C-alpha cells in the first residue's frame, strides 16, 4: 500500500491526511476550494492516487483544512467536472479510470528536427488564418514596421485525439502567400517555408509559463487559469533575416523539454553545460 495515498476509509488518520494533502494559504487570492482542488489534482496526476483509488471525503477535507462542507464539496465537484474522479452516492469519490497518454519529449538541441517530427505525429486544427497588421511585438521580432502586413495563423495540435499545443505564428506576408490554409493542416510551417526557398539558419527561443485564458483553455481542454508551458521563438534564415515569429502554449502534462548536462570545470568554479 502506498504511504501517501489514501485508499481506504479505515487508514485515513489525520496524520496521513496532512502528509498526503499539504496545506492551504488563506492569504492567497485563490479561493480555498480551488487550492484543495489543485492539491488533489496534483496527487492524482502525480500517481499518488491511481485508477479507482478512493480520495478523501467531504467530511475528511472539512476536518483536515478547517473549511466548510460546501467548500470541500466544490473542490471534489471540480475534479469530477474535469473527469479526474467519479462521485457515487454512498460509495465515495474514486479516481476515474484513464488511458495513460505519454507526453511528447523534445530535445532543445534538436529543435527544428523535433518540430518536423511532431508535424508527422500530430493532427492540426486551423483555428484562424488571416492577413493582419503587425502589432508592436510582432513587428519588432520580424524587424518590420508596425502595421506592416503579416500572415497570422492559429493552430491547435493534438496527439492521439488529446490537445497538445496552441500555436500563434506570424510570418511576413510575402512568405505567407506561398502557402494556404490547407497546407498548414498537412505540413509543419517550417517545412512550408523551406518549400518556398527559405533556408533556415537559426532560432532564438525563450521558455516560460503562463495561465490558460478563456480563449486557450477550452481549446486545450484545461481549466481557465491552468498552468501552461510557453515557448516563444523567432526563426531566422541563413542570412539572419527573421522569417517567423511564433508563440506555442503547451499542456505540461502532454509536452516536456529535456536537456543533457555535463559538469564542466571552469577557471574559478564548476558549471553545468548543455551537451548534444
Give the DSSP H or E segment for 76.
helix 69-81
- With a cut of 70, say whether residue 83 has pLDDT above it: yes
Same domain, 174 and 206: yes
Domain that holds residue 80: 9-95
Q: Determine the Cα–Cα distance for residues 245 and 142; give it in Å rounded to an integer.
A: 7
Q: Determine the Cα–Cα distance for residues 236 and 148; give it in Å rounded to an integer.
A: 18
Same domain, 79 and 119: no
Task: Determine the average pLDDT of the residues in 28-36.
Answer: 82
Same domain, 142 and 254: yes
Same domain, 128 and 225: yes
CATH, residue 84: 1.10.10.10
With beta carbons less than 8 A apart as the criterion, state whether 239 and 274 touch.
Answer: no
> What is the pLDDT at residue 276?
56
Per the listing, cell 523539454 goes with: 257
- Distance, C-alpha 206 to centroid of its chain: 15
With beta carbons less than 8 A apart as the criterion, state whether 91 and 47 touch.
Answer: no
Query: Which residues make Cβ contacts (< 8 Å) with residue 70, sequence separation at least 6?
Result: none
Same domain, 86 and 132: no
Same domain, 155 and 220: yes
Residue with the bigger pLDDT between 58 and 224: it is: 58
Give the DSSP H or E segment for 227.
strand 227-237
Number of domains in the chain: 2
Here the contacts of 12-15 (C-beta below 8 Å, separation 24 or greater) are 12/56, 12/60, 14/63, 14/64
Give the residues across from 93 on adjacent strands.
Answer: 87
Confidence band for 92, pLDDT divided at 50, 70 and 90: confident
- Distance, C-alpha 204 to centroid of its chain: 20
- Identify whether 83 is part of a domain: yes
Per-residue pLDDT tens over the stretch 129-151? 999 999 999 999 999 999 999 99
> What is the pLDDT at residue 233?
92
> What is the pLDDT at residue 107?
52
Residue 153, classed as helix, strand or coil, is strand
Same domain, 71 and 153: no
> What is the pLDDT at residue 179?
94
Domain termination site, one of 49, 64, 95: 95
> What is the pLDDT at residue 178?
95
> What is the pLDDT at residue 145?
96
User: 237 is written with which cell numbers?
Assistant: 534564415
Cα torsion 32, 36, 39, 41: sign: negative
Per-residue pLDDT tens over the stretch 156-192? 988 778 888 999 999 999 999 999 999 998 888 988 9
Confidence band for 16, pLDDT divided at 50, 70 and 90: very low
- Identify whether 202 is part of a domain: yes
With beta carbons less than 8 A apart as the criterion, state whether 131 and 173 touch.
Answer: yes
Residue 168, classed as helix, strand or coil, is strand
Give the DSSP H or E segment for 41.
helix 32-45
Domain termination site, one of 74, 95, 116: 95
CATH, residue 249: 3.40.1410.10
- Identify whether 270 is part of a domain: no
Same domain, 153 and 210: yes
Domain termination site, one of 42, 65, 95: 95
Same domain, 70 and 90: yes
CA dist 76 → 45, 62, 96 (Å): 15, 12, 12
Same domain, 251 and 124: yes
> What is the pLDDT at residue 14?
41
> What is the pLDDT at residue 268?
65
- Identify whether 276 is part of a domain: no
Q: Determine the Cα–Cα distance for residues 93 and 53; give it in Å rounded to an integer.
A: 8
Amino acid at each position: 500500500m502506498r504511504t501517501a495515498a489514501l485508499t481506504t476509509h479505515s487508514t485515513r488518520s489525520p496524520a496521513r491526511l496532512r502528509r498526503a494533502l499539504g496545506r492551504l494559504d488563506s492569504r492567497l487570492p485563490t479561493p480555498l476550494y480551488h487550492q484543495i482542488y489543485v492539491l488533489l489534482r496534483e496527487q492524482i496526476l502525480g500517481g499518488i492516487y491511481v485508477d479507482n483509488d478512493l480520495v478523501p471525503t467531504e467530511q475528511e477535507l472539512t476536518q483536515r483544512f478547517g473549511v466548510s462542507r460546501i467548500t470541500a464539496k466544490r473542490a471534489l465537484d471540480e475534479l469530477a467536472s474535469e473527469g479526474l474522479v467519479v462521485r457515487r452516492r454512498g460509495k465515495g469519490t474514486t479516481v476515474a479510470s484513464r488511458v495513460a497518454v505519454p507526453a511528447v519529449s523534445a530535445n532543445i538541441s534538436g529543435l527544428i528536427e523535433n518540430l518536423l517530427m511532431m508535424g508527422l505525429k500530430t493532427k492540426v486544427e486551423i483555428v484562424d488564418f488571416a492577413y493582419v497588421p503587425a502589432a508592436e511585438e510582432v513587428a519588432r521580432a520580424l524587424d518590420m514596421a508596425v502595421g506592416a502586413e503579416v500572415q497570422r495563423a492559429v493552430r491547435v495540435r493534438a496527439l492521439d485525439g488529446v490537445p497538445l499545443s496552441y500555436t500563434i505564428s506570424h510570418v511576413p506576408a510575402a512568405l505567407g502567400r506561398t502557402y494556404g490554409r490547407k497546407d498548414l493542416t498537412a505540413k509543419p510551417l517550417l517545412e512550408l517555408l523551406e518549400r518556398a526557398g527559405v533556408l533556415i539558419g537559426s532560432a532564438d527561443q525563450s521558455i516560460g509559463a503562463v495561465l490558460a485564458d478563456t480563449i486557450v483553455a477550452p481549446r486545450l481542454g484545461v481549466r481557465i487559469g491552468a498552468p501552461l508551458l510557453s515557448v516563444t521563438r523567432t526563426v531566422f534564415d541563413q542570412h539572419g533575416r527573421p522569417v517567423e515569429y511564433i508563440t506555442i502554449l503547451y499542456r505540461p502534462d502532454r509536452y516536456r523539454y529535456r536537456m543533457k548536462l555535463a559538469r564542466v570545470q571552469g577557471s574559478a568554479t564548476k558549471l553545468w553545460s548543455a551537451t548534444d
